[in-house]
Amino acid sequence: MSSQLVHNIGGRRAWVVWGVSVAVYVVTVFHRSSLGVAGLLAVDRFGISATQLAFFTVLQLLVYAGMQIPVGVLLDRFGSRRMLLTGLVLMSSGQLVFAFATSFPVAVLARAVVGAGDAMIFVSAIRLITVWFLIRQTPFMIQLTGAMSQVGAILAAAPLTFALHSLGWTKTFAIASALGLVLIGAVLGFVKDSPYGRREGIRLKLAALARSLSQVWGHPGTRHAMWTHFTTQFSVTVFAMLWGFPFLVRGEGLSTTTAGLVMALMAVWIMISGFGLTWLVAHHPYHRSAIAIGVVALMVVVWTVVLLRSEPAPLWLLILLVCSLATGGPASMIGFDLARTWAPVSATGRANGVVNIGGFVAGLVTLALIGLVLDWRAPGGQTTYDLDDFRVAFCVQYPVWILGVTQILRYRRRSLILLRREHPGVEERLRSGEQVAHVGMGDLEGV
């Protein structure tokens, strides 16, 4: 990277770059979440089972997760601008094919393309924040990015439900695909990879790249961050992307309109809770794991209360459920803040790619398991689902939570051992509330 600073870090141009990247991420979340309220219509349109419906989202997330390491390498090499453009082209193309698809295989292929484009957006936006804003601004900007992206989830709830019933499947998804054209122009016109005069991509030979990836992947700080993302995000992903809407309609007996509004409320609460978690993380960086585990505990308790009921829950309890799940969205951003503590700027793409794998792998596994349980419990299809079927199916989340919390505690301990040995004094700075970033990976021997 050139030493000549062309634009002020954290200045007006930084906010313009961030604004465009956030707009791209908003549309990304809309595309990602669009099947959440269209799931019941997809069952009728393609004549599929619960397992096949889950496969749409599982494949989309599988492609997303599987591309995170390659995307991280490409991001460090080519920069955020090119990755945002490529992601937009892929998502828009996939959504357009999905609009006109009438067969299950074509629709699956379209969702896979959407997942490929989706894989490039968030980590690109995070990298832009890392280079365009001051260290003390970064935690707030990451949380703000996650919060603002929920505008896309809101649009994918009640408004999309209305559009599907008013305009039909093809027109709704075709219009959605056109949003990418506008944003491609905005990225070309306003996004720059860094505030410096020239950005040099990180050129690594294959052997060096393999060593770098091995170090990033094997580092306890990266693992700590990944398991934090894994544990906090998957339940909200499962609920928002696929099974929440059918659960509210078929299981809890809500109307499609009310269920759409509840899903929209979920997205609103992600925005609200994000600001509270931002303050906590910014002022208590040493206790980031405790904050994340506290959010998980809240989700587990509320889910348990709902699932223990043998009759539909009152609306207030369902609202409490979606709000507790929604808090997991901004809590998952703690993973990227933990990764930022360790990874040098030159490796942020790779580190964030590893972290981003966590929640989406947990999500796709849980999505698939819920679909399998529903097919086992209700082989007659989605019209035969009842509350008991969903109560059993959603219990598959508990082993995932137990695994995740165990790994968070395990790798937090290893990270602290390494921090004390390789970076004396940093732990005390974190305890005092100071933001610390990019300290370096250090020597892993004995950890």
All structural domains of the chain with their residue ranges: 12-195+211-431
* Farthest CA pair distance, the chain: 66
pLDDT of residue 443: 61
Backbone angles phi, psi at 346, to 5 degrees: -65, -15
**CB contact at 8 A, 348 and 216:** no
Structure tokens at 89: 């082209």
pLDDT of residue 441 exceeding 80, the answer is no
pLDDT of residue 406 exceeding 60, the answer is yes
Q: How confident is the model at residue 9 (pLDDT cuts 50, 70, 90)?
A: confident
Strand partners, 196: 5
pLDDT of residue 447: 59
Half-sphere exposure (CA, 13 Å, Cβ side) for 234?
33
Which has the closest alpha carbon to 169: 6, 365, 38? 38
Q: How confident is the model at residue 200 (pLDDT cuts 50, 70, 90)?
A: low
pLDDT in tens, 247-276: 999 999 999 889 888 988 887 898 888 888
Task: List Cα–Cα distances, 196 to 135, 141, 200, 292, 350, in angstroms.
Answer: 17, 20, 10, 35, 21
pLDDT of residue 336: 87
Euclidean distance between CA atoms 116 and 113, whole angstroms: 5
pLDDT of residue 2 exceeding 50, the answer is no
Task: List Cα–Cα distances, 332 to 32, 288, 336, 357, 387, in angstroms.
Answer: 17, 11, 8, 12, 29
pLDDT of residue 353: 79
According to CATH, the superfamily of the domain at 12-195+211-431 is MFS general substrate transporter like domains (1.20.1250.20)
Mean per-residue pLDDT, 120-138: 86
Euclidean distance between CA atoms 46 and 54, whole angstroms: 13
Euclidean distance between CA atoms 227 and 417, whole angstroms: 18
